[in-house]
Structures are given as structure tokens and as C-alpha cells.
Amino acid sequence: MSDVGDDIKDTLKDIGTVVSVIGGSGSEYLDFEPNAQVTKPFIREFFLDAMVSYDTAMVTGDIIEFDVTGDLFIVMNKTPMLLENERIYNDTVLYKCNVSGEILRPSGETRDSQTMLKSAVFVSIKSDAYSLLTEPLFSGYLDTESELANIGIERQELYIPSSFGIQTLDRFEPTSGEYYIVESIRTRRFPGVDVVVLGEDTR
């Protein structure tokens, strides 16, 4: 590795912000700034551009926590920056988590002995499923080049790590008593992160 990469890594330790990977070990340093479209409140609130060291252990789909504020973010991508054919640091985009819901999976039915009505039975697949839940934009996904005022109201979109294993027909409960059914999953838009289309779950 070039001295440049090590120098940048040392600089991040001096001026950077400490973050921890949820479920990982140790801490890392990054330097961040709001997305360039800071005039758009949604972008300012939920998107960050960040620089991490050339040898960071973070991968796309990780959930990281800012040690000082406790804010949680999804690592959406990690782009190596090269100098003289060597990696000197990584550019990343972070999406802020605004829910810590639970993924539930259908597991048969039960019948009420009094009313004889059937209801679905669910088992918990993942609690603390940190993710970003938002109304879909007209383009169908979060696009920092889009006009953010053009939103839909029929569906919700969920940006969630692929490692959580969410599946079609699962139930997502962002807060107690609020239920969504997983209608479709877009797995190829971001490596390590699924874009999930949610609808109202009346099961």
C-alpha cells in the first residue's frame, strides 16, 4: 500500500468521526459531509457522503452507528479511489435508518374456538431490523437526482440489508401495531441492500 493511503488513514483518525459496525468488532473513523443537494430537506436528513480508509472492514449492507450521536446508517456502496493503481481510500454513501422494525414470517393459521375465524400465525425472523422506510418517489426508488416532491401514497419502500433475509409475503412491523406485507423485493439495485415494496398487511 502506498504511503498516501496510510497518510489518509492517519488523518481520518485525527479529524474523523468514530463509528461502529453493528454486530461487528472494533471501531473505525470516517469523514462525512451532507449530500451536495443540501437544499432538499429529505436528502439533507437521510443521505451522507463519507470517506473511509483504504482498508476499511465495512462492506455494503452493514449497519453503522455514530458513537457520539447514536445515529444508525446503512452502508449503501463503497467505491475505491485509486492513485497510481493503488487504493488510497473509499468513498461511501450512507442512508440513515429511521426504523428498527421486526421481520415476521407466516407460519400457518390458527382458528378462534369461539368465532371459528382463521388468522395467520407469524414467527419472528429478525428483530432490530434497522432500515430506511419511506414513501416511494416517482422514479420508483430514492434518487438524489429526482424531484423529491413527487411522491406516491399507496405503497412504502424499505431499504434494508440483504443479510436480514427478508422475503416476499413476510410481514414488516416498523413500530408496534403497524403492519406491512412484503409485495416485492428488488435485489439487484444495490449490492448488499434490498429495496422492498411494502403494502398494507390485513392478514
Q: Return the C-alpha cell found at 162.
A: 440483504
Percent of the chain residues topping a pLDDT of 90? 69
β-pairing, 171-173 vs 99-111, is antiparallel
Is the model's pLDDT at 38 over the cut of 80? Answer: no
Q: Hey, which residues does 34 pair with through a beta bridge?
A: 48
List, in order of start, the domains of the chain with CATH numbers.
3-96 (2.40.10), 99-200 (2.40.10)
**For the segment 80-116, what is each residue's pLDDT rounded down to a tens digit?**
999 989 999 999 999 999 999 999 999 988 877 777 7
Cβ contacts of residue 93 below 8 Å, gap of 6+?
47, 48, 49, 50, 76, 77
List, for residues 169-193, the tens digit of each pLDDT value.
Answer: 999 999 988 999 999 999 989 999 9
pLDDT top residue among 120 and 21: 21
What's the mean per-residue pLDDT of the chain?
87
